[in-house]
Amino acid sequence: MLLSALLTSVGINLGLCLLYCTLYSILSKQPSNAKVYASRSVAAKEAPAETNGFDFERLLPTAGWVRRAWQPSEDQLLSVTSFDAVVFIRIFIFSLKVFGFGGIIGVFVLLPINFQGTQLEEDYSDSSYMSLDSFSISNVNDGSKWLWVHFCAAYIFSAAVCYLLYDEYSYISSRRMAHFYSSKPQPNQFTVLVRGIPVLSGSSGSETVDRFFTEYYSSTYLSHSVIRRTSKLQRLTSAADKVYRTLARLKSEKDPQKRFKRDGLFGSKVDGLDHYGKKLDDLEDTVRLEQSSLAGKEVSAAFVSFKSRLAAAIAVNIQQGTNPTEWVTEGAPEPQDVHWPFFSSSFIKRWVSKLVVVVAYAAVIILFLIPVAIVQGLTNLEQLETWFPFLTSILNLTVVSEVITGYLPSLILQLFLSLVPPIMILLSSMEGYISFSQIQKGACTKMLWFTIWNIFFANVLSGTALSELDILLEPKEIPGLLADGVPAQASFFIAYVVTSGWTSTVSSELFRLKPLIFSMIKRLFSGNDGDEFEAPSIPYHKEIPKILLFGVLGITYFLLAPLILPFLLVYCCMGYLIFRNQLLNVYAPKYETGGKLWPIVHNSTIFSLVLMHIIAIGIFGIKTLPLAASLMIPLPILTLLFNEYCRKRFLPIFKSYPVECLVKKDIEDQSDPSMDAFYDKLRTAYEDPVLLPIQRRRSRDGYNSPLLPR
């Protein structure tokens, strides 16, 4: 790619960013868009009264939102949002530190050295036709002594990143502990999920659970609720709820005309109140019937609650029954987080479905190589011309070729990538996770490796050796192969950072283009739809892999093409501000995992470092500096040892809480008079809401607002 093409891309994207920011600044001030840009306050019913009066100030773009996003301290952010959100923002802070340090070395030390080289023998007379490759390590002459600077830079940078990693892991784990200490008693701290209950014929699952835990946890066992298959009932109750809400809206309708509706397309008009009232009564009868018939449909799994956190931890951490595939326990999720479209209580079924998911995941990764190959074709214009000769005349236009090489590829990748997260969520839920948070975490890891493989490796290798993919079976070849392929794709990835990083973040995150259009269409066609509104939650499984991919790019290209780092720094600053803004205004936390996502970030960074080292080994080999290549080998080993140390030092903190914390909190609770009320709540916390009597559930969920007496 030429420098001019990069500049074109930067120009286009800067323009788009500014445009989106300006539009955001204006649109977010319009009360009609509050649901899009201030979902949290709308959902919490704190939104300002919707005044339709015209206000000139609303049409002026201002940067006030930047200040408001910047100002709150981390503690304020924590109190308003969740600990997960704080950890999410820490990813940007961590990336800023890494890219800041790397950027200084890269731009002021490595870049001049690369540019001095004459390996590529370019014509520098016209700087606009200068290839970006002259800023990369490929331009340094073979065997040049300057490469030792790169060698030192690799060691210094790795040491700095490891220090930052340690620092951040330590900071986040201490915050996690502090957050646990300051937390109120929560049902999930006292509860475990038990699967594989060996129910004997002639006794019910409920009795079996009761007998087991009364015997072995005599002093701490509180209660349990056996799980039942309720998918049919769930459909029925959600249908009933929908009718109930429509009825409620009709009742509050001031204009009696609007209460009438046509029965069918050409039928006579009927009173909506009567019609829906009858329908609701029918549905509720069916629900009651189904509820009573469900008593027998037990699954051999149950939520078991204890009187202390320590007892729950014992149940989770120590094998319960003599057969390890029975009485399998795990920590319960928060009651509102329970979600299991593919729940299975049998050990062997879950194991088989995990294997199936692994195979399906591999299939998705392999099938995705097809769109990637198309994108790759677009950056190699010559190849495209040989494939489609009739395009030659169009492709020879400078503007077209620059747009195609600079912008189109990332756009197409973007499009295909947006299809993947739902697939990953599906795969993760098939694995048998019991909560949405776990499904999202699983999908996050899957997305991460998918992204790294399909964006990074597929692009790097398809340029050099897609047909020779089986060379990967020969591990000795890998460093050379990567050293060949990775620098060649530097310009593609710089363009990728600019289009996918800058514009997509601003447009899809800050401006919320899709929700905005969706909300406009909705308002046009259906009008206001009452108090059904719920603030969206942040899709960690989409966002974190995106950010981490930029981390991989930044760390691997630090040595090869440091020009990428300033662009990444800009991205991180933008991301930091925008996501703070969105977390404060748009996304409501749905669950709290206590920062369990951080280990994913840590592992990904370690992976990037080792990848960078392997490429460096290959590069020094290619550049005929075998001594440097050999001296590079200890670096990945040291990095992996550092990672191993961190796994031992910090990872257990993210898995479960230690006895020290649990007992301290338990002792605190003993002197708390409100614990009895909490235990009462705990007894019913994990009952399936669809099994509750209809009135009780509605009053619990807040449907039965004083507006609607029945």
Of 149-157, 367-375, 378-386, 647-655, which part binds a second copy (CB under 8 A)?
Answer: 647-655
Tokens of 556: 């691997």
Q: Which of 27, 314, 544, 559 binds a second copy (CB under 8 A)?
A: 314
107 binds a second copy (CB under 8 A): no
Residues 146-205 that bind a second copy (CB under 8 A): 177
Which residues within the stretch 206-245 sit at the binding site for a second copy (CB under 8 A)? 215-216
Closest distance of CB 322 from a second copy, Å: 6
The backbone torsions φ and ψ at residue 497, rounded to the nearest 5 degrees and listed phi first, read: -60, -45
- Our CB check for a second copy shows the closer of 502 and 657 to be 657
Q: Which is nearer to a second copy, 81 or 173 (CB)?
A: 173
Nearer to a second copy, 192 or 233 (CB): 192
Give the distance from CA 9 to its chain's centroid. Answer: 27
| CA distances to 83, 173, 445, 609 from 649, in Å | 21, 10, 22, 20
Tokens of 102: 């790397």
CB nearer a second copy, residue 235 or residue 655: 655
Q: How far is CA 364 from CA 245, 447, 463, in A?
A: 40, 11, 21
What does the alpha-carbon distance between residue 432 and residue 351 come to, in Å, rounded to a whole number? 9
Of the ranges 48-56, 201-209, 285-293, 318-326, which one interacts with a second copy (CB under 8 A)?
Answer: 318-326
Nearer to a second copy, 263 or 644 (CB): 644
Q: Which of 619, 485, 618, 609 is nearest to 555 (CA)?
A: 609
**Minimum CB–partner distance for residue 669 and a second copy (Å):** 15
SS3 480: helix
| Closer residue to a second copy in complex, CB, 320/454 | 320
Task: Please report, as a single letter, which amino acid is at residue 226.
Answer: V
**Minimum CB–partner distance for residue 93 and a second copy (Å):** 24
Residue of 313, 544, 685, 694 that binds a second copy (CB under 8 A): 313
Residue 317 contacts a second copy per CB under 8 A: yes
CB of 475 to a second copy, least distance (A): 6
DSSP states of 3-41 as a string? HHHHHHHHHHHHHHHHHHHHHHHHHTTSGGGHHHH-HHH
x/- binding map, residues 587-626, to a second copy, per CB under 8 A? ----------------------------------------
Size of the site for a second copy (CB under 8 A): 41
Residues 444-503 that bind a second copy (CB under 8 A): 470, 473-476
Nearest distance from C-beta of residue 592 to a second copy, angstroms: 19
Taking contact as CB under 8 A, which single stretch among the options 84-92, 423-431, 482-490, 649-657 is the one that binds a second copy?
Answer: 649-657
Q: In terms of CB distance, is 105 or 314 closer to a second copy? A: 314
Answer whether 94's CB lies under 8 Å from 601's CB: yes
Span 656-675, contacts to a second copy by CB under 8 A: 656-661, 663
Q: SS3 for 681?
A: helix
Query: Token digits for 80?
Result: 């308003």
Choices 138-146, 248-256, 311-319, 444-452; region in contact with a second copy by CB under 8 A: 311-319
Is the Cβ of residue 368 or residue 650 nearer to a second copy in the bound state? 650
Cβ proximity to a second copy, 450 vs 654, nearer residue? 654
Judged by CB, which is closer to a second copy: 118, or 656? 656
Nearer of residues 126 and 215 to a second copy, judged by Cβ: 215
Crossing angle between the packed helical segments 369-379 and 408-417, to the nearest 10 degrees: 170
Measured from the CB atom, is 655 or 710 closer to a second copy?
A: 655
Question: SS3 of 2, please?
Answer: strand
Angle at 118 between CA 114 and CA 123, to 5 degrees: 105
CB of 44 to a second copy, least distance (A): 35
By CB under 8 A, name the one of 9, 191, 237, 320 that touches a second copy: 320
Contact between residue 145 and residue 620 where contact means Cβ atoms under 8 Å apart: no
Q: What is the CA radius of gyration of the chain?
A: 29
Binding residue (CB under 8 A) for a second copy from 274, 356, 645, 705 = 645
Q: How far apart are CA 48 and CA 41, in angstroms?
A: 9
List, in sequence order, every residue forming a beta bridge with 378; answer none if it has no partner. Answer: none
Site string for a second copy, 348-387 (x = CB under 8 A): x--x---x--------------------------------
Task: Kindly provide the residue ranges of all beta strands, DSSP E only, lying in 217-315, ordered along the sequence.
Answer: 221-228, 260-262, 269-271, 298-306
What is the smallest separation between the CB atom of 344 and a second copy, expressed in angstroms?
Answer: 15
Per-residue buried b or exposed e for 404-418, using 16+ beta carbons within 10 Å of the residue's own CB: bbbbebbeebbeebe
What is the SS3 assignment for 453?
helix
Q: Does residue 325 touch a second copy according to CB under 8 A?
A: yes
Asked if residue 398 lies in contact with residue 129, where contact means CB atoms within 8 angstroms, the answer is: no
Backbone angles phi and psi of 198, in degrees to 5: -80, 90
- By beta-carbon proximity to a second copy, the closer residue of 499 and 593 is 593
Q: Which is nearer to a second copy, 245 or 647 (CB)?
A: 647
Output the CA–CA distances (angstroms, integers) from residue 337 to 57, 435, 590, in the order listed: 42, 5, 7
Q: What whole-number distance in Å separates Cα of residue 252 and Cα of residue 590?
A: 30
Q: How far apart are CA 426 and CA 309, in angstroms?
A: 32
Give min distance, CB of 91 to a second copy, in A.
23
Q: How far is the CB of 495 from a second copy (least distance, A)?
A: 36
Among 125, 322, 393, 526, binds a second copy (CB under 8 A): 322
Minimum distance of a second copy from residue 330's CB (angstroms): 14
Minimum CB distance to a second copy, residue 499 (Å):
39
Stretch that binds a second copy, among 333-341, 544-552, 609-617, 652-660 (CB under 8 A): 652-660
CB-wise, 67 or 211, nearer to a second copy?
211
Among positions 318, 370, 399, 707, the unique one binding a second copy when judged by CB under 8 A: 318
Between 302 and 494, whose beta carbon lies closer to a second copy?
302
The first and second tokens of residue 634, run together, are: 């200890």
Q: Which residues pair with 192 in a beta bridge?
A: 304, 331
How big is the CA angle at 463 (ends 458 and 466), to the nearest 5 degrees?
60
Tell me the closest approach of the beta carbon of residue 602 to a second copy, in angstroms.
Answer: 15
Least separation in angstroms between residue 310's CB and a second copy is 8
Q: What are phi and psi of 146, to 5 degrees?
A: -60, -25
d(CA 541, CA 425): 8
Inter-CA distances, 631 with 59, 266, 612, 637, Å: 61, 84, 14, 11
Nearest to 227 by CA among 350, 348, 340: 340
In the complex, the residues that contact a second copy under the rule CB under 8 A are: 177, 215-216, 310, 313-315, 317-325, 327, 347-348, 351, 355, 470, 473-476, 641, 645, 648-653, 656-661, 663
